[in-house]
């Protein structure tokens, strides 16, 4: 059904998409009396175009020019009812968005309450390239979503979530709407690992968070009921070209068919050749790079990538389409390209243990859980590391593996 905003968009014919009109009205709602030039900066529009959009919204009876630009009662009602801003703690909203680090101070009172949730999550399975980001990074991603107007009243998809971004998003919503028992915003998680899905479900039930979990292998297309439903997605895929392309493709298939929807891609810093190929892949899928934030992500114990990774904010365009729509049979995880065998020495009895993907013990984490078979010791040191062969002749090697340990 055509909405008022579809009509406004048709009248103005914005190449940027209808989300810009939405952002302008919300800006006038949360900051009554905002200047037209500030609206232009906020929406990244030239001042003449921002002025044209403003005038169209005034004609529609949603804005008025009175000591700056502000919502009419009808405009405020639209924001509250159609986009679910009713009950928003506007003072907290402004405090959170005041600066890059302001949110840490605002959320300091809850930091200790929330930290246990992140500390208790399951151990990372490095064979499927899991590498848990820190609690602060997870919350930073949620703040980025809020800044991009992709959280309040929206449907958000987390494609793989050992980082608990779904929980960060939901906890942030809970603080922004202290008087609301239910919100229209919906957060969904797709993951192959039932351990993390069970953990997220448990936390969501305990904290009364709007999170729905789906178990799926992303080598298969997403379930049909997830197609075309979401306003944005987060993904921190395997740090291979194939893994990145596949996870992005699944996310694109879940997005609504609109211009300007954000995608939040966390990825390792890569050499120029790989980065060029990655950007060519973005172009192939019709994606626009809006922003690249170096060293945005920090990971627990990820020595192979220096513990840091970049955040790439992508936007949908008229040409956006999944690069991979059918079942994918090839390799996607770093371990499938580089099969590494390690030899560890037990610090207690000096016994040697071989660890590798095709061996009885696949990772150092599994070895620490089991303990030394001879003496039960739990502390090991790396003695030797070697490549045990690669899969496929035409598969490119991948630097900066995501694994750690």
pLDDT given for residue 342 in this prediction: 81
Contact 244, 265 (CB under 8 A): yes
Contact 263, 248 (CB under 8 A): yes
pLDDT given for residue 333 in this prediction: 61
In order along its 405 residues, the chain shows pLDDT tens digits of 456 666 776 777 778 777 888 999 999 999 999 999 999 999 989 999 999 999 999 998 999 999 999 999 999 999 999 999 999 999 999 999 987 778 888 888 888 889 899 999 888 666 666 578 899 999 999 999 999 999 999 999 999 999 999 999 999 999 999 988 888 899 999 999 899 999 999 999 999 999 999 999 998 999 999 999 999 999 999 888 888 899 999 999 999 999 999 999 999 998 888 899 999 999 999 999 999 999 999 998 655 545 789 999 999 999 999 988 888 777 766 666 566 678 899 998 999 998 876 677 767 777 887 899 889 899 999 888 776 544 333 333 333 333 332
Asked whether residue 148 falls in the same domain as residue 195, the answer is yes
Contact 301, 398 (CB under 8 A): no
Maximum pairwise Cα distance, the chain: 81
- What is the three-class DSSP state of 208? coil
User: Which token pair is 117?
Assistant: 């949730």
Q: Where are the beta strands (DSSP E) in 56-210?
A: 63-65, 69-71, 155-159, 186-191
Look at residues 30, 56, 83 and tell me which one is the last residue of a structural domain.
83
pLDDT given for residue 304 in this prediction: 52
Asked whether residue 114 falls in the same domain as residue 238, the answer is yes
**What's the sign of the alpha-carbon dihedral 134, 140, 144, 146?**
positive
Contact 167, 203 (CB under 8 A): yes
Asked whether residue 277 falls in the same domain as residue 366, the answer is no
Domain membership of residue 329 (yes or no) is no
Pairing status of strand 186-191 against strand 211-215: parallel
Domain count, the chain: 3
CATH of the domain at 46: 1.10.10.10
Pairing status of strand 380-387 against strand 340-346: antiparallel
pLDDT given for residue 334 in this prediction: 67
pLDDT given for residue 399 in this prediction: 31
Asked whether residue 145 falls in the same domain as residue 221, the answer is yes
Contact 299, 133 (CB under 8 A): yes
Range of the domain at 379: 339-388
Domain membership of residue 273 (yes or no) is yes
Q: What are φ and ψ of residue 73, in 5° steps? A: -55, -40
Domain membership of residue 401 (yes or no) is no
Asked whether residue 152 falls in the same domain as residue 10, the answer is no
Q: Which H or E element spans position 254?
A: helix 241-254
Asked whether residue 260 falls in the same domain as residue 294, the answer is yes
Domain membership of residue 268 (yes or no) is yes
Domain membership of residue 326 (yes or no) is no
Asked whether residue 114 falls in the same domain as residue 169, the answer is yes
Distances (CA, A) of 33 to 30, 38, 67: 10, 10, 6
pLDDT given for residue 123 in this prediction: 80
Asked whether residue 34 falls in the same domain as residue 106, the answer is no
Count the Cβ atoms, other than its own, within 10 Å of residue 183: 19
Asked whether residue 176 falls in the same domain as residue 73, the answer is no
Asked whether residue 169 falls in the same domain as residue 25, the answer is no
Contact 273, 401 (CB under 8 A): no
Query: How far apart are the C-alpha atoms of 53 and 21, rounded to whole Å?
Result: 7
With b for 16 or more beta-carbon neighbours within 10 A and e for fewer, the 238-263 pattern comes to bbbbbbbbbbbbbbbbbbeeebbbbb
Domain membership of residue 290 (yes or no) is yes
Contact 71, 79 (CB under 8 A): yes
DSSP state of 309: E
CATH of the domain at 158: 3.40.50.150
Q: What are φ and ψ of residue 311, in 5° steps? A: -110, 125
Domain membership of residue 333 (yes or no) is no
Look at residues 283, 316, 349 and tell me which one is the last residue of a structural domain.
316
With b for 16 or more beta-carbon neighbours within 10 A and e for fewer, the 280-306 pattern comes to ebbeebebbeeeeeeebbbbbebebbe
Domain membership of residue 404 (yes or no) is no
Asked whether residue 60 falls in the same domain as residue 108, the answer is no
pLDDT given for residue 255 in this prediction: 97
Asked whether residue 347 falls in the same domain as residue 381, the answer is yes
């Amino acid at each position: 059904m055509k909405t008022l905003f579809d009509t406004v968009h048709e009248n103005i014919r914005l190449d940027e998409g209808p989300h810009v009109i939405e952002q302008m009205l919300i800006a006038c709602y949360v900051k009554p009396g905002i200047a037209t030039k500030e609206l232009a900066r906020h929406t990244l529009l030239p001042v003449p175009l921002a002025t044209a959009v403003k005038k169209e919204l005034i004609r529609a009876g949603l804005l008025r020019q009175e000591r700056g630009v502000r919502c009419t009662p009808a405009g405020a009602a639209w924001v509250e009812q159609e986009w679910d801003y009713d009950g928003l703690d506007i003072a907290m909203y402004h405090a959170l968005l005041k600066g890059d680090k302001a949110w840490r101070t605002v959320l300091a009172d809850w930091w200790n309450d929330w930290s246990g949730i992140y500390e208790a999550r399951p151990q990372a399975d490095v064979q499927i390239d899991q590498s848990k980001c820190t609690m602060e990074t997870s919350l930073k991603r949620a703040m980025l979503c809020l800044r991009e107007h992709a959280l309040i009243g929206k449907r958000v998809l987390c494609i793989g979530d050992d980082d608990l971004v779904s929980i960060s998003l939901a906890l942030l919503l809970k603080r922004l709407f202290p008087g609301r028992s239910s919100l229209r915003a919906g957060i969904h998680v797709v993951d192959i690992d039932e351990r993390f899905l069970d953990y997220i479900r448990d936390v969501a039930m305990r904290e009364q968070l709007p999170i729905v979990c789906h178990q799926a292998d992303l080598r298969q297309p997403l379930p049909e009921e997830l197609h075309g439903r979401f306003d944005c997605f987060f993904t921190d895929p395997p740090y291979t070209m194939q893994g990145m392309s596949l996870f992005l493709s699944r996310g694109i298939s879940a997005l609504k068919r609109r211009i300007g929807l954000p995608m939040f891609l966390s990825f390792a810093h890569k050499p120029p050749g790989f980065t060029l190929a990655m950007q060519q892949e973005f172009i192939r899928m019709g994606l626009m790079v809006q922003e690249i934030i170096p060293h945005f992500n920090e990971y627990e114990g990820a020595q192979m990538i220096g513990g840091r990774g970049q955040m790439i904010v992508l936007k949908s365009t008229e040409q956006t389409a999944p690069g991979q729509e059918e079942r994918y049979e090839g390799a996607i995880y770093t371990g499938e390209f580089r099969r590494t065998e390690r030899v560890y020495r037990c610090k207690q009895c000096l016994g040697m243990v071989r660890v590798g993907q095709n061996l009885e013990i696949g990772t150092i984490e599994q070895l620490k859980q089991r303990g030394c078979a001879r003496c039960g010791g739990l502390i090991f040191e790396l003695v030797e590391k070697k490549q045990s062969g690669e899969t496929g002749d035409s598969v490119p090697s991948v630097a900066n593996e995501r694994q750690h340990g």
